[in-house]
Structure 1
Amino acid sequence: MRGIPVVVLAFVLAVAGCGAPPAEPPLNADDVMFVQMMVQHHRQGIEIARLGTERAKSPEVRTLTAAIETTQQDEVEMMLRWLHDWEQPLRAGEGAHDHHGGMPETDVKRIRALKKSNDFEADLLTLLIAHQSDAARMAKEEVAGGVNPAAKAWAGQVESSRRGQVELMTTLVTKLVKG
């Protein structure tokens, strides 16, 4: 060791201790498409839920829609961070999702009609049931086709929670109709 300068020895020891940089989590087109689609889908859900929070008379419906609005806003922020970290566009180009069956969107006309509805709570719940069912379907597809561990884990949570919401809303709308 006498012939090796101390600086060289320190460098060799430092490099040997560092090892390779950690590998990036895997990512595929399904992960990116799912997150891009869910951002837009969630924004519609927030719009619908906000109407419920503002107009519903039932405390159960107001509480549910407030929770949906808050949760989905937090999830949008998380998904936008993911897209940024993945260096992916926040939105795919026009028609980019067509080969995946397109993005299930709630018809804008149905949202406008909801704003004028005379049977607001039943119409709200019916619209949210369809909307949250679409979210569960999209999440199920991510679990099956995605590779990013965080996106797949979250998709599993989305699928389960949205199915639970659909069950609850189905019970609520049934009570309204019978009521």
Structure 2
Amino acid sequence: MRPRRLRRTQWLAGSAVALALLCAGAATVATARGGGSEPAAVSAPAPRTPSADSADAGFAREMAVHHQQAVEMSFVVRDRTTDEDVRRLAYDIANTQANQRGMLLGWLDLWELPKTAPDGQEPMAWMSGHEDHGGPEGHGGGTAGFEARDGALMPGMATRTEMRQLGAAEGRKAEVLFLQLMTDHHQGGVVMAEGCAGLCAVPAEKRLAQGMVEAQRSELDLMADMLAERGSAPRP
């Protein structure tokens, strides 16, 4: 009888875990769709999902692209320097932004929306009407008057030329260029995340955006210190 009781206990435990995971998954979907914690009435309609031209969808699409370049830059500098502080920062950025990118693309799948902007829509169109934030013109500044150029599709993104320069640099030169490029990148990312925090409607996405603002501002301070240690500074 003992083995049978053990098997039954294990089966019940496994069923409980499966049920918990199912409930957690349902809660995650409800949150991403904009639902709250209160149970919906039986007759309530299904939660509305963002439209393709909404701030929620625009931020998810464009920040996923923005994050992808940060991941690429982090992997490049990892192989161009032996400095442990820079490599550790690059590792943290790559992991954090790769995970966030997965969340953003997952929401687009959940909402059954395309991962590319509608035909004819300009970059950053979803931020129309949001108060512009100041910053170094041409680098991580605000979105007013922003024009995509040489592969830099959004504020703060490095151009193809700059990415080639980073790939060719070594040692201290690679460290300084990475920190300068990533400073610009974070400044542009903060502008975009602040835009979502103000314009997006999905609570989970707004919370993610606000978390990005806080984390990237902290890393901006760290990178300024690291540049100073190397006798340099963020680009004007």
- Written as runs of structure 1 = structure 2, the 5 A alignment for 1:80-99 is 80-93=105-118, 95-98=120-123, 99=125
Aligned to 2:34: none
Secondary structure, counterpart of 1:20 in structure 2? coil
RMSD of aligned Cα (Å) = 2.0
Contact 1:143–1:156 (CA under 8 A) maintained in structure 2: yes
Instruction: Say if 1:35 and 1:164 are closer, same or farther in 2 by CA, change over 3 A.
Output: same
Secondary structure, counterpart of 1:177 in structure 2? coil
Number of matched residues? 161
Is the helix fraction higher in 1 or 2? 1
Superposition misfits of 4+ residues, deviation over 6 angstroms: none
Contact 2:71–2:93 (CA under 8 A) maintained in structure 1: yes
Aligned to 1:27: 50
Q: Which has the higher contact order (CA 8 A, sep 6+)?
A: 1
- Written as runs of structure 1 = structure 2, the 5 A alignment for 1:22-61 is 23-24=46-47, 27=50, 29-61=54-86
Paired residue for 1:64, among 86, 89, 95?
89
Which stretches in structure 2 are left out of the alignment for 5+ residues?
1-40, 128-142, 147-153
TM-score using structure 2 length: 0.63
Q: Which amino acid is the alignment partner of residue 224 of structure 2?
A: T
Aligned to 1:167: 221
1:94 CA drift (Å): 5.2
Aligned to 1:116: 168
Pair 1:139 & 2:193 matched: yes
1:24 CA drift (Å): 2.0
Distance 1:22 1:150 in 2: 20
Distance 2:114 2:49 in 1: 17
1:22 CA drift (Å): 6.9
Percent identical: 26
Distance 2:74 2:118 in 1: 27
1:25-56 Cα offsets, whole Å, 9 max, x none, are 66360111011000100111111011122222
TM-score using structure 1 length: 0.82
Secondary structure, counterpart of 1:88 in structure 2? coil
Distance 2:216 2:48 in 1: 26
Q: Which amino acid is the alignment partner of residue 97 of structure 2?
A: Q
